[in-house]
Structure 1
Amino acid sequence: MQVWVDYNGTEKQIKISLAPISEGKPNIPLMSYMRDLSPILNEAMYVGFSSSTGSILTSHYVLGWSFKMNGNAQELSQLPKLPRIGADKIYKLLTIGLPVIFVSIVLVLFLIGVNYAIRKKKKFAELLEDWELEYGPQRFKYKELYIATKGFREKELLGKGGFGKVYRGILPTSKIEIAVKRISHDSRQGMKEFVAEIVSNGRLRHRNLVPLLGYCRRKGELLLVYEHMPNGSLDKYLYGQPAITLDWSQRFRVIKGVASGLLYLHEEWDQVVVHRDVKASNVLLDGEWNGRLGDFGLARLYDHGGDPQTTHIAGTLGYLAPEHTRSGRATTSTDVFAFGVYLLEVACGRRPIEAQGSDVSILVDWVFSCWNRGNILVATDRKLGTEFIAEEMELVLKLGLLCSHTEPTARPRMRQVVQYLEGDHTLLPELSLGASATGLAFSHKEGFDDFANGGGYTESLYVPEATLLSGGR
């Protein structure tokens, strides 16, 4: 490019023109500016050149220049050639730059690969201690469960509660459909015993129990792997306006199935298993609508004839036996109490505790008041209409009240419960509400409110000595 800078001292005007090297001076300048330079110009001065680069590195060369006072500067001719730019750089680039670039790329890719491998290993890292080696096949790899549940994505979520979320999955090798429950377990103390009991529960085999296939332990998280039950939990068919309403024959079969499963846990297995969380939401329905008791995350084991140890209070509000909230001791009797509440849930289609405006309705107390007024069938779930067997319904409602007796010694054992549900009255011809003159004191709010509020408010309903199940099947 060539540039002309002209200054007219008379007109006090500066003009700047610009053109390619092969063309002459334009008639119209690129810039024109009025400025008096007389205060700036001296008798002796220097003329020089300067340039600047932009964001890209460039080289600027001045090939020639001319200057003239009081006239036009001489036109430039015979300009030298531009220097060869980049010849040495290209040679250096080929001999040094490319190998360095290649090695750098390989090194970067290697570091990326190492970082990916470390992150992947960390992502699927598990806790595995020596004492867990004996459990062998019952321990799942976290990676296997991650793949089975498609990364525990929300689309595979089956449900969630206070103890964690449950995801549906398919094991990649065996193609078995599973349900994976993720439980946070921050306490390291007792983890060995806790896992030992979980694994022991994995050996339980009964047609009315959800099979616990195994577990996985990772960081502060415990994952329990169950066989998937396609029809979900019982509670979604009981409350509100369910899409499918179970008829009475289905409900009665589910009730008897769970009772049979609890009898197995309490009396028929190698050890006594206290479930500690019997409720409708933990009863799952298989493909044939059979009831199966699941979620053994809170279960405790002890030897037959042994004494259950005192632990922290665990379970669900509304199903906690009063003595459990006071002592923390979970026994087969506290399971029976929860089973009694569960019986009323299934028969009435109502939750154990429901808010009614500013009041709280306790299901057990409400059913008891119906019985006390001489018409216990009023408590029957309205969604059933009249399509139920009255003798069976009456038996379930009364048995639910008896199982939820506030006095542990007054509650039947699960073997007795199963006998009654199966219609066998030979061993127990009559099951009465109370065995003393004062009868049964229902203090259900003692269990609920003491646990929820730490207070001592109770409401007691006294029942004279009477036969609870007379006339029942």
Structure 2
Amino acid sequence: MVIAFGSFFLFSVSSLAVISFALSDNHGEFIYNGFNGASLHLAGIANIQPHGLLQLTNTSNRQIGRAFFQFPIEFNTSYSFSTSFVFAFVRKSQDYFGHGMAFVISPSTDFSHAVASEYLGLFNISNDGASANHVLAVEFDCVLSPEFKDIDNNHVGIDVNNLTSIESTSVSFYSNGERKNRRLELMSGEPIRAWIDYVEDEKLLNVTVAPVRCPKPNYPLLSKSIDLSKILLDTMYVGFSAATGAVASNHYVLGWSFNRSGEAESLKIAELPHLPKEKIAQIGIKELVLYKVIMLLIVLIFLGTICGAAYLFWRNKYGEVREEWEKEFGPQRFSYKTLYKATKGFKDKDLLGEGGFGKVYRGTLQSSNEEIAVKRVRHKHDSGEGMKQFVSEIVSMRRLRHRNLVRLLGYSRRKGELLLVYDYMPQGSLDKFLFTDEKPSLNWPQRFQILRGVASALLYLHEEWEQVVLHRDIKASNILLDSELNGKIADFGLARLHDRGSSSKTTLLVGTLGYMAPELTRTGKANMSTDVFAFGALLLEVACGRKPIEPQGLPEEVGRGLCCGGNGAGFEIRPTMLPPRSGN
């Protein structure tokens, strides 16, 4: 049976002998205040230094050191025992340390198949947990090994036949004077005294630790009910086992006493050998510098990776398409980041409307606190002359100034997406007042005021500005209302400009069914008259409260009839001079 503490103290019995340190036929007792001349069986890299210090391991990686009392102990009449020892772990550097030591009771001193590292020189992967081991260990461990369910990297555990502790706790001691527990660090480099006591009548195993100069605490660190008669054999060996792994530490034992028939004799602290402190400060200086350099490089690489990922995220989130020819339009261009923040990320809760050419969002410019409407348009223009001409026309329209035009403030551009920035109209579009219950009905003076404003704006576009502007999509949903219900023409996404005295060159059929002049469907050429026709349809729409056309067919037919350039399938063109609907 083994008790492990990061380094191990081992007990094993194979034969019985009588030695000068009070070992009788039925019980054994010994004490070593230093180990010069001690009756020990050493294995692995364990050695006794000239001044009597027992060194189980040094700073070599993946090594094992063991020290057993040379003679077996008889447990055939009682399994009670008491032992006390002083040990110390001295780390290789300020950052590296491992693994631990254990006090062990074992039927043999032969551990030829045991491995180092987390196995502490006691077991291997195949025999760890075997009931045939008959090993009790108290481990003092300073490495957290998940495979053994260690609780932390500074713990004491009671092990039976394997290194998964049946009971463990972080290392601390009860201060009799302060009447409270104080934390104790195994890797402090200072000597620590341990007491391990088992009383067979109570079937209770107690483990107690304290700094070397402190008296034995009134309360143990670990107290576990356990029947050792089911684990130990009649003849056992006692001793220590320690191991190192990929990192290493010095594991020392300064003194040790044991009693099989009563309380172990107290060690004489003043007579114990001293730790080689003059060497401790020099250990691992080069390794420490190298380690810190490596850690610094790792941190820099990590930070660089984080910064690179953040930059890529920022670039993708706010990335724009910018070309050389756009410099001349600089004052009219908004950064995508500005619009993204103004609309709070284009959230649906700020969606004002949605149509065939894109969605419109409400936003507020942070620099001026000005409310805006941002239309996101998916475009198919290439990045050459087509896009240049398109942007040029948008910028030209930005110069339009009329009280009944929704002002185009500027634009922004991303790959496959164009963003148009307008003044925000608080009352929304005219069609909401005409065809939904969301808005109150309009009286006749209000309707006349709206139509007069639209007519004035249309006259400005056709006759009064420096170029002819064809809107090409005059309809109720493109008439926005300000807070005083003044009608303003909006949505210049389909608009085209041409010089006076010339005609529009476009032959692409665009517009909305019901507002398109009959000749437009044949020629595809828009002019001022086609805009006037659409305005006439709007007049009747506002007067009657009825749409120019209404769907009369299956949903899929209606969808085809709505497409620009379609033949109107699925629709019936109704007379517009019908009585207004209720509420209009």
| TM-score grouping bracket, smaller chain normalisation | 0.5 to 0.7
What residue identity is the alignment partner of 1:199? V
Name the SS for the 2:376 alignment partner: strand
- State yes or no: 1:379 paired with 2:573: no
Name the SS for the 1:260 alignment partner: helix
Larger CA deviation: 86-95 vs 269-278: 86-95
Which residue of the other structure, out of 334, 348, 351, is the alignment partner of 1:140? 334
- State yes or no: 1:170 paired with 2:378: no
Q: 1:80 to 1:355 in 2, by over 3 A?
A: farther
Which residue of the other structure, out of 355, 358, 373, is the alignment partner of 1:179? 373
- TM-score, normalised to structure 1's length? 0.62
Q: Give the % identical residues.
A: 51
Per the TM alignment, residue 292 of structure 1 is displaced from its structure 2 partner at its CA by: 0.4
Q: 1:296 to 1:48 in 2, by over 3 A?
A: same
Name the SS for the 1:383 alignment partner: coil
Work out whether residues 177 and 227 of structure 1, in 8 Å CA contact, stay in contact via their aligned partners in 2: yes
Query: Could you tell me how far apart the structure 2 residues matched to 1:115 and 1:164 are?
Result: 31
Equivalent positions of 1:228-247 (< 5 A) are: 228-247=424-443
Query: Could you tell me how far apart the structure 2 residues matched to 1:222 and 1:352 are?
Result: 31
- State yes or no: 1:366 paired with 2:574: yes
Equivalent positions of 1:1-400 (< 5 A) are: 2-4=9-11, 14=134, 16=136, 21-27=194-200, 28=203, 30=226, 87-88=281-282, 91=285, 95-98=289-292, 101=295, 105=299, 108-109=302-303, 112-113=306-307, 116-117=310-311, 119-121=313-315, 123-188=317-382, 190-355=386-551, 365-367=573-575, 376=577, 378-384=578-584
Per the TM alignment, residue 250 of structure 1 is displaced from its structure 2 partner at its CA by: 0.8
The equivalent residue for 1:443 is: none
Work out whether residues 367 and 379 of structure 1, in 8 Å CA contact, stay in contact via their aligned partners in 2: no
Work out whether residues 514 and 573 of structure 2, in 8 Å CA contact, stay in contact via their aligned partners in 1: no
Q: Show CA shifts across 1:307-333 (max 9, x none).
A: 322443323344334443444322333
What residue identity is the alignment partner of 1:214? G
Tell which structure's C-alpha radius of gyration is larger: 2
Per the TM alignment, residue 290 of structure 1 is displaced from its structure 2 partner at its CA by: 0.6
Query: Could you tell me how far apart the structure 2 residues matched to 1:57 and 1:127 are?
Result: 58
Q: Show CA shifts across 1:268-314 (max 9, x none).
A: 32222221211111101112211000110111122334232244332
Query: Could you tell me how far apart the structure 2 residues matched to 1:104 and 1:277 are?
Result: 61
Per the TM alignment, residue 255 of structure 1 is displaced from its structure 2 partner at its CA by: 1.5
Query: Could you tell me how far apart the structure 1 residues matched to 2:414 and 2:455 are?
Result: 34
Structure with the larger RCO, 1 or 2 (CA within 8 Å, 6+ apart): 2
Query: Could you tell me how far apart the structure 2 residues matched to 1:265 and 1:106 are?
Result: 61
Larger CA deviation: 228-237 vs 14-23: 14-23
Query: Could you tell me how far apart the structure 2 residues matched to 1:245 and 1:204 are?
Result: 31
Query: Could you tell me how far apart the structure 2 residues matched to 1:323 and 1:279 are?
Result: 18
Query: Could you tell me how far apart the structure 2 residues matched to 1:309 and 1:166 are?
Result: 29
The equivalent residue for 2:40 is: none
Query: Could you tell me how far apart the structure 1 residues matched to 2:539 and 2:249 are?
Result: 87
Q: 1:224 to 1:8 in 2, by over 3 A?
A: same
Gaps of 5+ in 2: 14-73, 77-106, 108-131, 139-157, 159-192, 206-225, 559-568
Q: 1:198 to 1:60 in 2, by over 3 A?
A: same
Per the TM alignment, residue 254 of structure 1 is displaced from its structure 2 partner at its CA by: 0.9
Work out whether residues 12 and 239 of structure 2, in 8 Å CA contact, stay in contact via their aligned partners in 1: no
Name the SS for the 1:367 alignment partner: coil
- TM-score, normalised to structure 2's length? 0.51
Q: Which structure has more strand as a fraction of its residues?
A: 2
Work out whether residues 15 and 32 of structure 1, in 8 Å CA contact, stay in contact via their aligned partners in 2: no
